[in-house]
Structure 1
Amino acid sequence: MQTIYAIIPAAGVGSRMQADKPKQYLTLQGKTILEHTAALFLQRDDIKEVIIAISPDDPYFDALSLSQHPKVVRVTGGKERADTVLSALQYIDSKEQGNAWVMVHDAARPCLQQDDINRLKAAALSHSVGGILAAPVRDTMKRGNSAQGIDHTVDRENLWHALTPQLFPINSLKTCLEQALKQGYQVTDEASALEFAGYAPELVTGRADNIKITRPEDLALAQFYLMNQSPNQE
């Protein structure tokens, strides 16, 4: 059986939430968003460890019972997402010498469902590159101009919203991230680093309710989705 680690980048400050703490530490149903998210992977027997990458001056993580979980490993994140993920990859590589896969998931996506993880795992592990969860674009897409007017309508055929988790072999992801950072490429998700290196990860259709909590109004929507999930989700 293939060894899989989960990485949760949680070093961001989430300024768009307009909150008094990073968004991963806001609470839903009596638990922080980060605790909801980590629980999705901690319950799985096919995940060896959950690596949570946080900022070096984070004052919140140690107060969570999550920090004492035997499957949780804390590493120090970096300034950008790519630096944070790379820090976690370096920890895993020191143990596995490249013989593992990594599933990277946003800390602020607590509504992920287990069926989506299973679908991603089945597809990505059998793909030569790996894969990501994604949702087909359903809305009409507009490209704006510098004056915030409409420049043109974008053809939405073959357009997808990139979601997480994203699942890749540690060797290829680590190498591609290092190359992208060295060349100054802006890495917006893990797949973009592999794309930069010329690879084409698989798109695995995921649920649209796997939302990323980014703005204040997202909290109520996440609360609704969590309340309506089946009890075995966490």
Structure 2
Amino acid sequence: LPIAGKPMLLQVLETFVASPLIAHCFVVVGADDGYIDELLASAPQLHGRVTVTVLRIGGATRHMSVLNGLQAMREQVQDHDRVLVHDAARPGLTIELIARLIDAVGEDEVGGLLAMPVVDTLKRAITDQRVQETVSRSSLWAAQTPQLFPYALLRRALVQAAEVTDEASAIEAMGLSPKLVVGSARNFKITLPQDVALAELLLKGLP
């Protein structure tokens, strides 16, 4: 899906390879994916200091795709290496956000993630879409990506966890508490058709 004239995946990869804090990018895709080859062939800017490796081992869920990717990386990383997992559907990521996350987490043994404090009033609904109650937002955060964890810890967490929708949830299931690092509204996940227009405005730098 193109955003501001570029495919979302290209937007994301350009950001990661431009960061001086990133050593290697692994892209997990389905076994029969042919698009990634065309993308890499048409983007010489991705062939520089940072190696981009394609892993054709995507699973049926995010959980399985990330776990498969971690297993495939095993010979190329150390247990203590920091791994950042990112959604390709978040093209608003910047090198500044990557640096903020890495700097804030530092040598923390658990790791952390970008997230935004919830500012909207939240309602819990009953089955016919009527309000059951208002939920306090005082301690609620909306998770973003990247999510950063030590390689061995994250791999173990995903092996042990039931199906989870993000990596932090697997870490939490081990009784650990990842660090929350303030992200950015521009780093939202493109999910609905109307999200595309908003992303276009943000990435083009329009007010």
Asked if TM exceeds 0.5, the reply is yes
Distance 1:202 1:34 in 2: 27
- Amino-acid identity (%): 43
Distance 2:31 2:166 in 1: 22
1:190 aligns to what?
Answer: 167
Q: Alpha-carbon deviations, 1:146-194, whole Å to 9, x = none?
A: 12211110000010000011110001000000001xxxx2311000000
Contact 2:15 2:95 in 1 (8 A): yes
Distance 2:157 2:106 in 1: 18
Contact 1:109 1:213 in 2 (8 A): yes
- Alignment-mate amino acid for residue 156 of structure 1: R
- Alignment-mate amino acid for residue 121 of structure 1: I
| Cα offset, 1:196, TM superposition | 0.7
Contact 2:89 2:189 in 1 (8 A): yes
Aligned pairs for 1:1-234 (under 5 A) are 26-65=1-40, 69-70=46-47, 71-75=51-55, 76-180=57-161, 185-228=162-205
Q: Alpha-carbon deviations, 1:100-153, whole Å to 9, x = none?
A: 110011101011122221111011123221100000000000111112211110
Distance 1:168 1:90 in 2: 15
Structure 1 vs Structure 2 CA RMSD: 1.6
Instruction: Say which SS state the counterpart of residue 64 (structure 1) adopts.
Output: helix
Give 5+ residue unaligned stretches, structure 2: none
TM-score by length of 1: 0.81
Give 5+ residue unaligned stretches, structure 1: 1-25, 230-234
- Alignment-mate amino acid for residue 40 of structure 2: S
Contact 2:78 2:151 in 1 (8 A): no
- Alignment-mate amino acid for residue 57 of structure 1: D
Deviates more, 1:90-99 or 1:126-135: 90-99
Deviates more, 1:170-179 or 1:205-214: 205-214
Contact 2:83 2:150 in 1 (8 A): yes
Distance 2:77 2:95 in 1: 26
Distance 1:108 1:78 in 2: 17
**How many residues of Structure 1 are paired with residues of Structure 2 in the alignment?**
200
Displacement over 6 Å in runs of 4+: none
- Alignment-mate amino acid for residue 182 of structure 2: T
Distance 1:59 1:65 in 2: 11
| Cα offset, 1:59, TM superposition | 3.1
Instruction: Say which SS state the counterpart of residue 124 (structure 2) adopts.
Output: strand
Distance 1:126 1:100 in 2: 11
TM-score by length of 2: 0.91
1:8 aligns to what?
Answer: none
- Alignment-mate amino acid for residue 198 of structure 1: G
Q: Alpha-carbon deviations, 1:8-27, whole Å to 9, x = none?
A: xxxxxxxxxxxxxxxxxx11
